[in-house]
Chains A and B, each alone.
Chain A
Amino acid sequence: MPEQRVVSVSEAMSLARNVLETVCLRVVGEVSEVADKPGYRAAYFTLSDGEAAMPCLMWRESYAASGVTLACGMLVELSGNFSAYVPKGRLQFVARSLTSAGEGHLRLRVAELARRLEAEGLMRPERKRPLPAYPARIGVVTSPRGKAVHDVIRTLRRRYPVAEVLIAGVPVEGTNAPSMIVEGLAAAVAARCDVVLVVRGGGSYEDLMPFNHESVARAIASCPIPVVSGIGHEPDTSIADMVADLRASTPTAAAESVAPSVEEVNATLVKTGRMLDRALHHRVQLAVHRVLLLVNRPVFTDCSVLTGAMAQTLDHAQMALRRALPRRLADDCERVERLVREVGRAGSHYLERAGESVSRNAARLHDLSPLEILGRGYAVCRTADGGAVIRSAAQVDRGDRVNVLLGSGRLACLVESSESEVSDG
């Protein structure tokens, strides 16, 4: 090995610069990070293609001559040579000429991927799932270092300490960031999270590239639990934002969107408690109302209701009876009159016949009358005291008074003697 001369840092850097300045190139790339202030003697910017970055400068005169105004995301073509800024030991590309190459190359690639995923329907609004209102476990896929993770933790602690927070700490920049983000999502799912946040703080457009990666976009779209993105890079929208169920502008906003605030929950509980009370009160009132309805039913207020039907039946019967009786009476009267008339007719007829009979019998009676016999000379003797007809002399004694009825007149006699047997003849 040949002996090498020992040099100072300045010499070393000058040597490097001399070598670098021999490398003249035409480079195409996307502009990120521009520092173009009026006082500067050069415009400073970074050129990138998503995989590598290159610090550039362009002297004020050349820059003004190019007629291009540098802006982030611009795709430009430079020609120039490498150099080194010796005091800082920094590599840089010194652009001699600058032309715009239209929309940034990275953006073109990202836009193309976005179009492809959109065509597959991964960004359709109907794919967006509602977030759980009260998540028990919240997954967070982000860098374990930096502001973003702590913004999320602080926000969740303040708003909704009920939920458990599970952090999948992954690199969010660099070549392995996409695969690690995918792994982080899977870890949150495996830990039975109800929702997962994919967040990072602001950065340059290249910093955002892992969130524009196809594998990350597909993992978010196919994630079995809702995903909220919070990638702080306004006004840029990453593909992760487009396929997430909800896009929040920052990590803090993502945390706010995923959990209710304790105050809100408290208010909900108070309201629900009131509704519970009111509902029961209402139900009890309903029961009371039903009982009151029953209590006020006529059965309970007026017992005549119970016998009413029977009483009415009786009334009806009575009324029917009243209506029926006069008719019966009239019928009866008529019958009586008819009978009376008939009797009358029959009576006069009968009297005629009776008259005839009486006169016939009177003649016969006359024939049979004892007076008629007396008229022929017979007499009837009776005891004076009893009037009994004396048929035998033995019935009287001497001295008895007897009355003798003659055919005409009467004799009061005193018995002088009596003989029981009168031999006739």
Chain B
Amino acid sequence: MGEPACVPPGEMSFSEALGELESIVASLETGQLELEESLARYQRGVELLQALRAKLGEAQQKVTALMGELESEPVDAEG
């Protein structure tokens, strides 16, 4: 039931992964699932959580100029 194709958490965007994690928590909280299904979802939830933590920890902001030439920051020294 539910997700037929489980995307590897590493390939998901932050908000996709967080969204799926939230829906897993919500479905677990109903207590309506079979025990086996609950365990499977819990495992998926833990994987998502780990991936999200990793993303947050490793993130290096990427800045791209779509138009115009970005002038280097005049106050770089203090920033």
Contacts and interface: CB of A to CB of B under 8 A. Distances in A.
B38 A132 contact: no
Contact of B62 (A154, A164, A276): A164
Q: Which label, helix, strand, loop or mixed, suits the secondary structure of the A interface? A: helix
Given A165-B61, A269-B53, A275-B29, A132 B15 contact: yes
Contact of B70 (A167, A262, A268, A276): A167
B17 to A, nearest CB: 9
B69 A265 contact: no
Interface string A195-217: 00000000000000000000000
Interface string B5-46: 000000001110010011011001101010100110010011
B1 to A, nearest CB: 15
A381 B44 CA distance: 133
B14 A167 contact: no
Contacts of A262: 56, 59
Contact of B65 (A167, A183, A194, A276): A167
Contacts of A167: 63-68, 70
A194 B13 CA distance: 12
A282 B62 contact: no
Given A275-B29, A282-B29, A144 B59 contact: no
Contact of B33 (A132, A163, A166, A283): A283
A139 interface: yes
B35 A183 contact: no
Given A134-B15, A161-B59, A276-B25, A150 B64 contact: no
Interface string B67-79: 1111101110001
Interface stretch (A34-42, A184-192, A340-348, A396-404): A184-192
10 contacts: A165-B61, A167-B64, A183-B67, A188-B66, A265-B56, A272-B25, A276-B46, A279-B29, A279-B38, A282-B31
Interface of B: 13-15, 18, 21-22, 24-25, 28-29, 31, 33, 35, 38-39, 42, 45-46, 49, 52-53, 55-56, 59-71, 73-75, 79
